Amino acid sequence: MPSKLIPLDTEVHDRQRFESGRRETDLFLKTIAGKSAGHLLSKTFVRASDSDEREIAAFLSLVICTDTPPAGSSRLQRNKTIVPGILIAQLGVDKKHQGKGIGVEIVAEAITMYAEEALRSNMPQGVGLFVDAAEDTLIPFYEKCGFVLVDPEDPECRRLWMKAGNCLSLLEASNAEL
């Protein structure tokens, strides 16, 4: 199935109408996303509304990140290496489109994009895909999508990750279903 996520086009997509209910998320999309992409700091993708291509139903923004080795990555932890990855830095679903499963769908699309890029590119993609849950209540959402806490022993940890190999396995499984 082709991705419904497309790169943000500031000439087409109406960022000012977007309202997720999270002030920081809305502010990022309305004021920062276009500028960051222009400086190659991040790449923002949008899911347009089915009824209006200008209306943003949901979006996510990807950036390169580094972190300490996640729990369960024994070889990386043993070497005490800082590891690179791709971070879902922002994710939002417009209030009018919440409760329809779009959030899960765009996270799945991000996993697919990560895995496809890892297979296609000659450039390394890091150890996996990371996400920072904006609130503790969002941790179960990301766990449902297949992410695990980077440090489950830390009660304040909100960073989750999915190993690159798991992203590739999910891509292979979805391709096998087609």
Amino acid (1-letter code) at residue 114: Y
* CATH number of the domain encompassing residue 166: 3.40.630.30
Q: How far is CA 2 from CA 57, 113, 148, in A?
A: 17, 11, 27
Total number of domains in the chain = 1
For the stretch 70-121, pLDDT in tens is: 666 665 555 667 888 899 999 999 999 999 999 999 999 999 888 888 778 7
Q: Rounded to the nearest 10 degrees, how much is the dihedral formed by the CA atoms of 53, 55, 60, 64?
A: 70
What DSSP element (H or E) covers 84? strand 83-93
Identify whether the C-beta of residue 94 lies closer than 8 Å to the C-beta of residue 57: yes
Q: Per-residue DSSP letters for 32-64? A: IHHHHHHTTS-EEEEEE-SS-TTBEEEEEEEEE
Question: Which pLDDT score is estimated for 76?
Answer: 56
- The residues with which 91 forms a beta bridge, in sequence order, are 60
Tokens of 123: 């450039």
> What does the block give as tokens for 136?
């503790």
Q: Please tell me the predicted confidence (pLDDT) of residue 120.
A: 81
pLDDT at 82: 80
> Domain containing 55: what range?
5-177
What the block records as the tokens of 12 is: 């087409």
pLDDT at 81: 74
Three-state DSSP class for residue 145? coil
Confidence of residue 37 (pLDDT cuts 50, 70, 90): low
Packing angle, helices 102-120 and 164-177, rounded to 10: 100
